[in-house]
């Protein structure tokens, strides 16, 4: 009987200890979550205040964004770059730290050199965020010269299929109309809208070159991207898909 009583007593103590441990663990985790939430809230408030007062994106956010997008950390030698992207700054009044010319240079090189779907998709994301804000349909001034170089890659028959597909993919994003409610430099700034209109003009001027690509049969190989269909979409977004219909009519 004593052995049974001792066992019951030990079992009781074990249950009590388990309950106490659960309660303490819940309180500890709740305290950690509450502390983390208060800390993240303080950080957000500090970041918003810095952007509103000093008109710049906090350095911590800039660095985090660069890491998440995978931009190269190697310094750019502007003396050997085909285009100096530093000459396309944001308009006066825009947030400092939104535009990084070095990101445009490295991501455009990566796009032109893409040889696989993975490399192409990574380059697309980096280029789109380097020359604008694709989440809010905002176009930086650098988006115009970028569109010109993307068109050069797209019509280059010697370029890899994935690089051409990536170039066309970025163009479809750049051809989307900017949000009229978002201005880069202030309430009356129309930089994003004017840049978008200029990009439309560039694509329309190259419509004849794009027509032949748009009418090309899609590849049968599974590892080749469908360039023809995406080029037709580019022409449609630019309002230049009429060249395809005229061609089909023998014009």
**In the predicted model, what is the mean pLDDT of residues 97-113?**
96
Q: Is the pLDDT of residue 194 over 90?
A: yes
Q: Considering the chain, what percentage of its residues have pLDDT values greater than 70?
A: 74
CA distances from 110 to 55, 72, 170, 210 (A): 31, 10, 13, 22
Report pLDDT digits (tens) over 216-228. 767 666 678 989 9
Cα–Cα distance measured from residue 149 to residue 203, given in angstroms and rounded to the nearest whole number:
11
Q: What integer best gives the mean pLDDT of the chain?
A: 83
How much is the pLDDT for 66? 93
Q: Is residue 49's pLDDT more than 60?
A: no
Closest CA to 169 of 105, 226, 209: 226
Query: Quick one: pLDDT at residue 132?
Result: 94
Answer positive or negative: Cα dihedral of 194, 197, 203, 205: negative
């Amino acid at each position: 009987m004593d052995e049974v009583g001792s066992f019951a007593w030990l079992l009781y103590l074990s249950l009590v200890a388990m309950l106490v441990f659960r309660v303490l663990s819940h309180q500890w985790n709740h305290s950690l979550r509450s502390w983390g939430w208060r800390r993240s809230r303080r950080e957000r408030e500090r970041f918003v205040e810095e952007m509103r007062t000093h008109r710049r994106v906090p350095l911590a956010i800039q660095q985090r964004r660069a890491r998440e997008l995978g931009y190269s950390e190697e310094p750019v030698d502007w003396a050997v770059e085909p285009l100096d992207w530093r000459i396309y700054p944001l308009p006066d009044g825009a947030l400092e730290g939104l535009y990084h010319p070095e990101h445009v240079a490295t991501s455009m090189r990566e796009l032109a050199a893409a040889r696989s779907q993975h490399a192409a998709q990574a380059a697309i994301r980096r280029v789109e965020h380097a020359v604008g804000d694709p989440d809010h349909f905002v176009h930086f001034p650098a988006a115009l010269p970028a569109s010109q170089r993307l068109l050069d890659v797209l019509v280059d028959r010697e370029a890899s299929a994935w690089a051409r597909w990536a170039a066309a993919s970025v163009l479809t994003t750049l051809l989307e109309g900017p949000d009229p409610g978002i201005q880069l430099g202030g309430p009356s700034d129309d930089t994003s809208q004017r840049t978008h209109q200029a990009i439309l003009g560039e694509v329309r001027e190259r419509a004849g070159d794009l027509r032949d690509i748009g009418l090309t049969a899609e590849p049968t190989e599974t590892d080749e991207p469908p360039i023809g269909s995406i080029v037709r979409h580019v022409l449609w977004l630019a309002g230049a898909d009429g060249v395809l219909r005229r061609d089909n009519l023998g014009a």
